[in-house]
Amino acid sequence: MTEKELLYVEDAILHEKNIVAICNETINYLEDENLVSFLKKEIKKHETMQEKLTNMLKEKANE
């Protein structure tokens, strides 16, 4: 993996973290349980993506 590709992956991880943080913050202001449920699903989806990207970096570091 090139340095530029590593930077892209790092940026993607940070974007996923930001999405999770924004969703968590937004949940605090919502009263509609459907929206809360939707955001909780989105949080899980983005946490999973963040984990996949982090694991990919760890695998590359161990090569």
pLDDT (tens digit per residue) in 12-58: 999 999 999 999 999 999 999 999 999 999 999 999 999 999 998 88
Structural domain tally of the chain? 1
Q: What is the DSSP letter of 31?
A: -
What was the pLDDT predicted at 61? 80
- Distance, CA of 4 to CA of 39 (rounded, Å): 32
Its domain, for residue 32, covers 3-61
CB 36 within 8 A of CB 27: yes
Helix ranges, 1-63 (H): 3-27, 33-61
Tokens 């202001």 sit on residue? 29
- Distance, CA of 2 to CA of 20 (rounded, Å): 27
> Is residue 11 predicted with pLDDT exceeding 90?
yes
